[in-house]
Amino acid sequence: METYAGIDLGGTYIKGGIVSHSGELLEEMQIPTEADGGPAHVLDRMALLVRNLMDAGKGRAVTGVGIGVPGQVIVDQGLLVEAPNLPCWENVYVAEEMEERLHIPAILDNDANVAALGEYSYGAGRGSTHMLMVTLGTGVGGGLILNGEVFRGASGGAGEFGHMIIKRDGARCGCGRKGCVEAYVGTQGILRLLREHLEAGEASPLAGRDPNGITPRDISEAAEKGDMTARSVLREAGEWLGVGIGSVANLLNIDRVVIGGGVAAAGALIFEPALAKVKETALKVSGSDITVLPAGLGNRAGLTGAARLAMNLRI
């Protein structure tokens, strides 16, 4: 049975797994990234993780290794151009470096693309043809599957859903621009919405807490307990999310949206207003068949999709 290694490189942890062609996760591990050690050190650790995975599988050989990285990538060159959360990672030929360390073919892509590929192949995206994957967390990531293939655009930069402008001269995003989806649906955006509600005098158990210590999970838990202010915040964030998705639907006529990431744990409190706004924003034909679903693979989407990438098949 052919198997493939998938690596999900993050600023804090490197996650890895061995996956069969059918998508079965046979082995799984994670180790600290130790990003301060620089690219060569982290590449050594990535190679170590693959070896450890093979050892755990009693010497199981892998046919190829796929790698998802948080940054701008030129796939054909296996090149990571830059990665804001990885110090000193500029113009690193990650695939080539891994091949030299492991003597196994390697391929590289953006982490959002490989997560989309994982969900499309083995998760909540199965059965779709035109899919948008949205990851809600500190940032808002996006990956596109169009006509059954990862869509990367002219230079590999497609899918940046979090930086679509949905409100002219709106709230400032971490990227420096104003009005991005991320500024309303990312972690900082949701916390800003909460502050605005509290500053307007709305009552909430969260009002007495240190604002720097509140997380989206806290807001979700308060909403589930009936806090109307927290519910309003999540509804508003969900509506902004829906505006962005509806705009993508109008442009690309996607049939499915898969939403993952920590903020997505709010579930129906954010999904229902998002879907309602999608239906309101999208044109009749574009929005008629669209479904919005929670991710099915959880935090394994990245490593599973990276392994799928290594299978070197057009899908």
In a domain, 315, yes or no: no
What digits encode the pLDDT tens for the residues 190-213?
999 999 999 898 989 888 888 778
Q: Are both 281 and 172 inside the same structural domain? A: yes
Q: Are both 55 and 135 inside the same structural domain? A: no
Q: Give the whole-angstrom CA distance, residue 64 versus residue 52.
A: 15
Long-range contacts, stretch 209-215, CB < 8 angstroms, 24+ apart: 215/187
Sign of the Cα pseudo-torsion (105, 111, 113, 119, in order): positive
Structural domains of the chain, count: 2
Q: Give the whole-angstrom CA distance, residue 296 versus residue 133.
A: 11
In a domain, 122, yes or no: no
Q: Are both 113 and 158 inside the same structural domain? A: no
Domain of 64: which CATH number? 3.30.420.40
In a domain, 20, yes or no: yes
Q: Are both 97 and 78 inside the same structural domain? A: yes
What digits encode the pLDDT tens for the residues 44-53?
999 999 999 9
pLDDT at 29 over 80: yes
pLDDT at 84 over 80: no
Average pLDDT over residues 31-54: 95
| Structural domain harbouring 248 | 128-295
Q: Are both 133 and 193 inside the same structural domain? A: yes
Residue 144 half-sphere exposure, CB side, CA atoms within 13 Å?
A: 19
pTM of the model: 0.88
Nearest to 235 by CA among 203, 281, 208, 267: 267
Band (pLDDT 50/70/90 cuts) for residue 183 is very high
